[in-house]
Amino acid sequence: MDMKQLEAAADFVRERWPEARVDMAVVCGSGWSSVLDAVEVVDRISYAEIPGLGAPGVVGHTGTLCHVRHAGRDVLVFQGRRHFYEGEGWTPVAVPVFLCLKFGVKELLLTNSAGAIHPDFAPGDLMILTDHINQMGDNPLVGPHHPVFGPRFPDQSTVYAPEAVARLRAAAKQADVRVQEGVYLATRGPVYETPAEVRACRLLGADAVGMSTVPEAMLASAAGIRTGGLSCMTNYAAGILDQPLTHDEVTTTASAAMPRMTALLLAWISGFGFE
C-alpha cells in the first residue's frame, strides 16, 4: 500500500466535498449499484480522477464515488470496486477504506457477487457474511506497519462485527427480504474455480466463493470501522451444474435480484444508528 497515494486520495475528495459529513458507507460489488436509482445523489466523483484509485477494468463496475442522502443519512457509496487481480497492487483496493477512515465513517457495508457452494443456497439468494476465509495468498496488511490500520497483528475473531450482522438481519426483516448467512471464501481470481477447488472450498468451511471483499474487510475492521458484508449468489459454484460459468450469468442473475438487493440496502441505510 502506498500511503502517500492514500493520503492524496483523501485530500482530493475532501477538497471536492469540504462540507460532506458522512458516517456510513457502502462498497457496491457486481450488480449492487442499482441502489443509487432509489436515493438522492448529492454529488459524484469518477474513480479515474481520484489519486491511487483509478477506473475499474471490470464490466458491471462503474467506478463512481457518490455522496448520497437517504432517510436523513449521508452515505458514501462506492459504485464499483478495484480488485487485486487487476494487477495494480493493494493501493486501489485500500483507497475506499482509507477514505472511509478519513471521513469518519462508523459503519461500512461491503457487497459482492459470489458463487453458491452451500447445498441449500441457489442463485439469487442473498447472504450475510458471518466470517471469511482468505485464500488470496496475500493480504493488504503485508508490508510496513501503518497504525492507521490498527495493530501490527490485528485480531480477526470478529471481522464482520456482530452488531453489523445484527443490523443486516434487522434490515432484511424490515425489508421482508429472505437472507442466508455464511462464510465467504476469497480467491485471488481472476479465474473461476475448478470443480475440485469448489469441493475443497466446501471442505474448508466455505458457503460462497468470490474474488473480493476480504481485503477491504480486513483493513476496515482492523481500523476500527464496524464492517458488514453481503453477497448475492449469482451462480452455482463450478462443478455443481454441468455447465461453464460466465460473467454474463453473474450480471444477469444480479439484475434479477436487484429489487431485493435495493430494498435491503435502503433498509440498512434507514436503520443506521449506534445503540
Report the interface residues with ligand HPA, using CB under 6 A: 113-115, 192-193, 209-211, 234-235, 237, 245, 250
End-to-end CA distance of the chain, in Å?
A: 34
Distance in angstroms (rounded) separating the CA atoms of residues 235 and 245: 8
Residue 99, classed as helix, strand or coil, is helix
Nearest-approach distance from CB 238 to ligand HPA, in angstroms: 6
User: Closer to ligand HPA at the Cβ: 5 or 111?
Assistant: 111
| Triad 256, 215, 6: Cα angle to 5° | 110
Nearest-approach distance from CB 199 to ligand HPA, in angstroms: 13
Report the candidate in 62, 101, 53, 116 with the shortest Cα–Cα distance to residue 253: 116
Please give the residue whose beta carbon sits closest to ligand HPA in the complex.
115
User: Closer to ligand HPA at the Cβ: 131 or 197?
Assistant: 197
User: Closer to ligand HPA at the Cβ: 135 or 139?
Assistant: 135
Distance in angstroms (rounded) separating the CA atoms of residues 187 and 138: 10
Strands 73-79 and 24-28: parallel
User: Closer to ligand HPA at the Cβ: 91 or 253?
Assistant: 253
Nearest-approach distance from CB 159 to ligand HPA, in angstroms: 19
Beta strands in 154-213 (DSSP E): 179-187, 208-210
User: Closer to ligand HPA at the Cβ: 5 or 253?
Assistant: 253
Report the candidate in 12, 100, 105, 15 with the shortest Cα–Cα distance to residue 54: 12
Nearest-approach distance from CB 56 to ligand HPA, in angstroms: 15
Nearest-approach distance from CB 132 to ligand HPA, in angstroms: 13
- Max distance between CA atoms of the chain, in angstroms, equals 53
User: Closer to ligand HPA at the Cβ: 52 or 60?
Assistant: 60
User: Closer to ligand HPA at the Cβ: 234 or 262?
Assistant: 234
Nearest-approach distance from CB 86 to ligand HPA, in angstroms: 14
User: Closer to ligand HPA at the Cβ: 161 or 258?
Assistant: 258
Nearest-approach distance from CB 125 to ligand HPA, in angstroms: 12
Q: How far is CA 114 from the centre of its chain?
A: 11
Phi, psi of 87 (to 5 degrees): 90, 15
Nearest-approach distance from CB 130 to ligand HPA, in angstroms: 19
Distance in angstroms (rounded) separating the CA atoms of residues 107 and 161: 10
For 72, left (φ over 0), alpha (ψ -120 to 50), or beta?
Answer: left
